[in-house]
Structure 1
Amino acid sequence: MLTDMQIVVMGGDARQLEIVRKLTELDAKLYLAGFEQLEQPFSGAVKEKLHDINFSHIDAIILPVPGTSLEGEVETIFSSEKIVLTEKILHQTPSHCTVYSGISNGYLDDIIKKSKRKLVNLFERDDVAIYNSIPTVEGTIMMAIQNTDITIHQSSIAVLGLGRVGMSVARSFSLLGAKVKVGARKSEHIARITEMGLQPFHLNDLRNEVKDIDICINTVPYPIVNAAVIAQMPSHTLIIDLASKPGGTDFRYAEKRGIKALLAPGLPGIVAPKTAGQILANVLSQLLREELESRKGK
């Protein structure tokens, strides 16, 4: 149980509702900032304006998956109010207060460092990323079907990157009958691709490997699908970029060439927000319980 824990949930989308539901069931006291348009009531959770919250008693702050903007703004679909996490707010919290976010950026890292608080990036955890790859794969399959006029079966697909998402995507499209090649850099990844029964190639050879593909699925968060690569693709190729914003694709050049390129970060929150929220809620409740037990043991 999380009895006596006081937590601020700042903004977000439908995934946050599953987090709120789980944490209130565990008897935490929640303050919801950026939720005034939410009609659904939660016992143990109160909607508050950010400036009305007494942060001196707050044990944890939960941000949405994208964290903050580079100006500190927190996105929310439940409010017209501008929600901004500042260094001043963090300084008002107890020294043990922990900030939980999906991902981080320079702004968030900077105010965390200056306030000497702890930041946990949930998407850096293997368990979260692996669980999250399931709705990501389903969303990618949906986008591939909606945006092509061919079947996935027997189509030629290049998956770029063999991280936790890339591995799940490559395996799933192969099981659907696609001819899947996977680009990677590390020798152990090349070996794993071979072991999976897929065709490996080194990302240095990317330009040569895209000349015959129907779909290119990128998971690498660097500008890897550049103009030189896109220039070698057939005109019917579909690019699905799953990397975090701004993605790894030159979208301007793709449009110029008439190649459809879709940036699709955060697919779990779009195609399966309930499941994606439950994944985050389960991990968060575990981390918060560990934090509470650690403090009580001191």
Structure 2
Amino acid sequence: MNDEHMLAKYIGNPEVFWPLSHQRNALKIKRALDKCGYGSDKDYVWKIKDFVKFRSDFYARHLYIVNTGSAGSHWIEAMLGLLPGFYNGGEIYFPKEIKKYLSGLSSKEANEFLDAIYVIHSGGIHKDSLTATISNSANLANHRQISDFSLNKKVVLLLRDPVDVVISRTFRKNEYKKDIAPSLDDNEYLERNCKYVENFYNQLDLSSFDAVIRYEDFLENTLESLKALANLIGIDASEAEFERAVRKTSQNEEKNMLETKGETLTNIYMGEKNDHDWAKVFVRKKLNDILVKYEYF
């Protein structure tokens, strides 16, 4: 099957490629297509294929923000997305059949296929898309199963205190829990998330990253941390543009947007917070070796 036909098949019927437990990934690409305004355009696959061929001539870049989930990647992507020459792709995953298909293509063809999916997830074709960087913040410790298909890329590891990650994943993402583990009680789900985070960190190959960044540094010094990341990926922005990106994604601005428009730029948690001290004690014991290794004492 040639590249155009496989791309058309995938974006036309993504649910065929994903098992029932992962249909949210099929819904994600369908929503991205609707957002682009091309959900019903049968010629769109050829338009996007032609476009990414031009993008490859400009050696357009992909940014991988590898993280556990609940680590602040959507906030960081939202800030980057307010800077010139950058579009936020969010978490983008590929089913087994597509990854197998990509491995049989030339490096250029695989990059263009990947780029087509990234362009769709980033909102479609924009006036500066030929040279723009597009992000993928998928929670893949083994990112090379995808990132190796990108010809021009930067890969950063985003860390957050593993205890906070487990608490957030367990108690602050109810819709996600209903989707993947509806039958588990809090204790069982806490144990599951501990195992997930432990497995994620154990799979990391630190030599495969261009940089390691920390959520806590972004909290403490947002502006300077954003500038450093932008410099790494080659974004040229003014002081005013950096300041606007930080301001527009601040918690106060997000709360105001939620109250006035019913939407936000990030997925910042707005609900009631509970310290869950009993759970934190459990998680610290479970993840002690990881906390020590990554200096989260």
With the length of structure 2 as denominator, give the TM-score of the two structures: 0.29
> Could you say which structure has the higher helix fraction?
2
> Could you say which structure has the higher strand fraction?
1
Identify which of structures 1 and 2 has the higher relative contact order when contacts are C-alpha pairs closer than 8 Å and 6+ apart.
Answer: 2
With the length of structure 1 as denominator, give the TM-score of the two structures: 0.29
